[in-house]
Structure 1
Amino acid sequence: MTLTRRHFIGTTAAVAGTLAAPMLGAQTRPRAVVIGGGAGGATAARYIAKDSGGAIDVTLIEPSRSYYTCFFSNLYLGGFRSIDSLAHSYGKLAADNDINVVHDWATGIDRDARTVALAGGGSIPYDRLIIAPGIGFIDDAVPGWSVAAQNAMPHAYKGGSQTEILKARIAAMPEGGTFVMVAPPNPYRCPPGPYERVSMIAHYLREANPTAKIVVADPKEKFSKMALFQEGWNDLYPGMVDWIGSDFGGGNVEVRPDSMEVLIDGEVVKADACNVIPAMKAGQIAHAAALTEGNWAPVVPATMQSRMDENIHILGDAAAQGDMPKSGFAANSQAKVAAMAVRGALTGSRVFPAKFSNTCWSLIDTDNGVKVGASYIATDEKIASVDSFISQTGEAGDLRAATYRESLGWYDAITADMFG
Structure 2
Amino acid sequence: MTSLRKLLPRTFTAFFHRFPRSTPIQAEGIEPILEGKNVLLCAPTASGKTEAYAAPLSERLLAGKWGPMSFVMVSPTRALANDLKRRLEAPMLQAGVSLGRYTGEHKERRGGKFPRAVVTTPEALDSLLARRPETLKGLRALVLDEVHILDGTARGDQVRLLLERLQALRKGGFQRVGASATVHDPAGVASRYGLRDRIVHAPGGRKIRARLFQGATPADASSHLETLARAGFRKILCFCNSRNAVETYASGLRNKTPFGDKVFAHHGSLAKQERERTERLFLECPAGVCFATLTLELGIDIGTVDYVLLMEPPPDVSSLLQRLGRGARRTKEARVGYVCAGSKDRVLFRVLLELASRGDLAEDPYAFRPGVLVQQALVLAGSEDHVEASMLERILPPSIREDLAGTTMEEILDAASEAELLEKAGAGRYVLSEKADDLYMRGL
Greater share of helix: 2
Structure number, greater radius of gyration: 2
Structure with the higher strand share, 1 or 2: 1
Q: TM-score, normalised by structure 1?
A: 0.29
Name the structure, 1 or 2, with higher relative contact order (CA <8 Å, separation 6+): 1
